[in-house]
Amino acid sequence: MNCRFYVYLQIATVLTACASAEQGDRTMNLEQSVCGLKEPLLFWLWSNQAGSPDEKRLKGLSNVVDISFKSIDGRTLHGYQLAANTSSSKSLTSRPKGYLLIIQGNAMLADQILPAFRSYAEAGYDVYLYDYRGYGRSEGKRRLKAIVNDYKAIITSLNAGPYEQKLVYAMSLGGIVLLDALSDELALDRVVIDSSPSRLSTYGCPARYDPVSHLPLDCSNFMFIVGKQDRVVSPDMSREMVEKAQQRGAQVLIDPEYSHPFMDLNWTVHQRRMGIIEEYLLQNK
């Protein structure tokens, strides 16, 4: 064998191996803690509070589709789609008007809250809701970096579909995940962020995961909700981000009766909250 060719072959082999190792490191590193030793413990506690999946909660929903999504590191995330009712009197077209992606709090499962969003399907929107990785039926370790990357991929996939309207309702941890995942390429039409804190760095996470640092320069398609009765994410914890978003054009609702999402003290308050969110997201479309 020609000596020079042999040297080139060896170099190419080493470079290929290094590239493969680097790709492997990137995917493996998704499930490494970025917030110290307490991150896996807190996610373990939160996922235990969420409980176990139970499909009985979906009884009465005729348009539920069991769906899955494969993450960049090979984890299968499970969730549900509420298929748009395009034959409904509220829908004038034969195909969905758009999608609504729900990104839930850190102690919730998809089947626990999906029924609350049936009105969006009746209005002609496909509704998507996944269990976080390591929660419910989804595979993988519960880690912030991995979850953020999961939603980058999910939104990218949904945006590549045949949807004209792209809507997101993100609550609590979901608001952190969404803002950390957003980029110029992930265009959304309307977003509601409900009861999310401004920063994670105060709890030992890297400052790059502070959601306030990821606010778009133009927030005119955002609504932020703050509940004065919220004991999970107090108004003080979200104030910095909400004020900055408002300066950038966001709508802000600060309600004296709201608690944390799906934890309002009575059904009337919860229904009022959900009605305002729906009115903003659907814009009578």
pLDDT band at 2 (very low <50, low <70, confident <90, very high): very low
- CA 146 vs CA 32, 192, 203, 209, 233: distances in Å: 8, 22, 18, 12, 23
Domain boundaries, given as residue ranges, for the chain: 32-282
Report the pLDDT averaged over residues 24-35: 73
Q: Cβ distance 215 to 245 under 8 Å?
A: yes
The pLDDT value recorded for residue 29 is 87
Q: Cβ distance 81 to 67 under 8 Å?
A: yes
- Give the model confidence (pLDDT) of 222-231 as tens digits: 999 999 999 9
Report the pLDDT averaged over residues 210-220: 97
Angstrom distance (rounded) from CA 161 to CA 141 = 28
- Give the model confidence (pLDDT) of 34-56 as tens digits: 999 999 999 999 999 999 999 99
Low-confidence winner among 74-88, 117-131, 162-176 (lowest mean pLDDT): 74-88
Low-confidence winner among 9-13, 25-29, 138-142 (lowest mean pLDDT): 9-13
The pLDDT value recorded for residue 90 is 53
Q: Cβ distance 235 to 198 under 8 Å?
A: no
Report the pLDDT averaged over residues 96-113: 97
Q: Cβ distance 251 to 222 under 8 Å?
A: yes
pLDDT at 171 over 60: yes
pLDDT at 96 over 50: yes
Q: Quote the pTM value.
A: 0.88
Q: Cβ distance 166 to 187 under 8 Å?
A: yes
The pLDDT value recorded for residue 28 is 55
pLDDT at 106 over 90: yes
pLDDT band at 180 (very low <50, low <70, confident <90, very high): very high
The pLDDT value recorded for residue 40 is 93
pLDDT band at 266 (very low <50, low <70, confident <90, very high): very high
Instruction: State percent of the chain over pLDDT 90.
Output: 82
Average confidence score pLDDT of the chain: 89
The pLDDT value recorded for residue 92 is 56
The pLDDT value recorded for residue 51 is 95
Low-confidence winner among 17-31, 119-133, 181-195, 201-215 (lowest mean pLDDT): 17-31
- Give the model confidence (pLDDT) of 240-259 as tens digits: 999 999 999 999 999 999 99
The pLDDT value recorded for residue 184 is 80
H or E segment and range at residue 70: strand 64-70
Domain 32-282: give its CATH superfamily: Alpha/Beta hydrolase fold, catalytic domain (3.40.50.1820)
